[in-house]
Copies of this chain bind each other. A is one copy, B any other.
């Protein structure tokens, strides 16, 4: 840093244009405004009145009904896209081609192919493409991620995720595309490089005749012999959000409905033991080691979306690859597409490309 430059350019807030003033846009706007490292300059929506309302008519945030207006502003270095999925590809492409870093709401695009096109374009242009997988920025997922990465859990044996959600059954997407992206993006985020999905099978049911799967199960064999499983369900009056990540050394249990004990780390493991003596010969034996349980204090009350916005700003400034980059978005889309293929193929196991 140049000592003669008190207000160093690299530390100036990143100028941002936000596209989309609908369901998620206001949340992003609020966080861009609150974050010291971002400067929300534009809010773009076909409905400019709505756009203006999102920022309470603040005079320092300009409103436009077309992204191109914001892209003409040289102070805009980054674009955040919170519009319906079908528009992600053209908007993100336009922003990237105009030299801007891009943050896209999930899903990255409507197809894996479109997502790949965006991820490649960003790579080619040396720009940041980030996917807003919000859950990956919660304190509990960060903690799980560190546990896995540090080797504390040992070898991953299985991951079991249950997401039973109060919510509207939707006519255009099934329960997999609606709910599973959360589980899949967390899975993608926490799994170590040597333990990756190698296939996926989807089972669905529509017992209420809605025309879409309302109850669904995803089974995901992982390289190395482990397995992940996801339960998604729209039809339950009670809400469940649980994920178990079992390793050979420790097991992490995440219960999102239990704020006072959201994450429990069991110092417990299961391992194969060599049988001894004639009585044991008949059976393979496992040792169940049951040790202490730790419930780490997690910072409650911090909004994950603030961490998303901060990560985006930092990557935009430094060129660093974000924790959840475009390729993470592509991998989720590949899994969801393979799940749809499975669903249409009598729940056959569908391979997914390496690294997906």
Contacts and interface: CB of A to CB of B under 8 A. Distances in A.
Contact of A288 (B233, B237, B290): B237
Interface string A323-356: 0000000000000000000000011110000000
Contacts of A286: 168-169, 208, 210, 234-235
A272 interface: yes
Given A229-B231, A294-B293, A346 B346 contact: no
A285 B168 contact: yes
Nearest to A220: B203
Interface stretch (A63-71, A111-119, A211-219): A211-219
- Interface range on chain A: under 10, 10 to 19, 20 to 34, or 35 or more? 35 or more
Nearest to A226: B207
Interface in A220-271: 221, 224-227, 229, 231, 233-238, 244, 246, 248, 251, 253, 260-261, 264, 266-271
B295 A237 contact: no
A57 to B, nearest CB: 14
A278 interface: no
A108 B23 CA distance: 45
A171 B155 CA distance: 22
Given A217-B217, A229-B217, A171 B283 contact: yes
A137 interface: no
A168 B295 CA distance: 25
A347 B202 CA distance: 11
A243 to B, nearest CB: 14
A297 interface: yes
Contact of A282 (B158, B171, B211): B171
Closest 8 CB pairs of A and B: A205-B227, A237-B268, A293-B295, A157-B207, A203-B219, A171-B284, A169-B286, A235-B270
16 contacts: A155-B207, A168-B285, A168-B286, A169-B284, A169-B285, A171-B283, A171-B284, A205-B225, A208-B286, A209-B272, A219-B347, A237-B270, A237-B290, A267-B297, A293-B297, A348-B349
Interface of A: 155-158, 160, 166, 168-172, 201, 203-212, 215, 217, 219, 221, 224-227, 229, 231, 233-238, 244, 246, 248, 251, 253, 260-261, 264, 266-272, 282-286, 288-297, 346-349
